[in-house]
A = this chain, B = another copy of it.
Amino acid sequence: MIITINREFGSGGRELGKRLADALHVPCYDHQIIEMIASEQGLNEEYVANVGEKCIESAYPLTIGHRLAMMPLMMDQTIRVASAQRQLLEKFATQGDCVIVGRCADVILKQYNPLNIFVYADMDSKVERCMRRAPEGENMTRNEMEREIRRIDKERAQYHAMYADTKWGSREGYHLCVNTSHHEIKKLVPAIAQFCKDWFAEL
């Protein structure tokens, strides 16, 4: 029972993944994937997060000149991180049932027949959620927050396109797409957990 979660930024997909894993009594892998790769490869976590969930272009916001000079190192580290990530995801998948949030696990673990869930919400709900959870002192306006959400989702879509034929967030690549607008995640989880159980029972 491998369940993957792709999610729009601010839609509550991470929380949904965590709660779904709890409901199914399986582990949830999320940020610790980054921590594990970082520690394994002797790299900084933020750097791994960037390389691992952004496309090459946006992970390295350098000037053209720098970028050219740095190219061999960048490519090498990108490949190292991608390879470490793939091995880690495969390890999780072979260890048993789990929920994996992000990291293109839906595509990378395709041969394990995961159940792929996409979590999304309307822009107002996402802005609302992000404003509520913003760290103290962040003080973004709603407009700035909306731009930030669009930027992050664009990066996720670009990153996904490096691995997948189907478009990030387009229904074809998923088994269930859940709109969380105006709903508490925890209220939606029991039915989704039921869906997962029934789905795997029938395979």
Contact = CB atoms under 8 A, between A and B. Distances in A.
A91 B181 CA distance: 27
A163 interface: no
Contacts of A184: 202
7 contacts: A174-B177, A176-B177, A182-B203, A183-B199, A188-B195, A191-B192, A191-B194
Interface residues of A, number: 29
Interface in A22-74: none
A201 B186 CA distance: 13
Given A188-B198, A195-B195, A198-B190, A176 B174 contact: no
Tell me how many chains of this kind the complex includes. Answer: 2
A94 interface: no
Contact of A177 (B171, B182, B203): B171
Contact of A191 (B118, B169, B179, B191): B191
Interface string A128-139: 000000000000
A192 B195 contact: yes
Contacts of A187: 198, 201-202
A177 B173 CA distance: 12
Nearest to A193: B191
Contacts of A159: none
Given A194-B190, A198-B188, A175 B171 contact: no
A122 interface: yes
A182 to B, nearest CB: 8
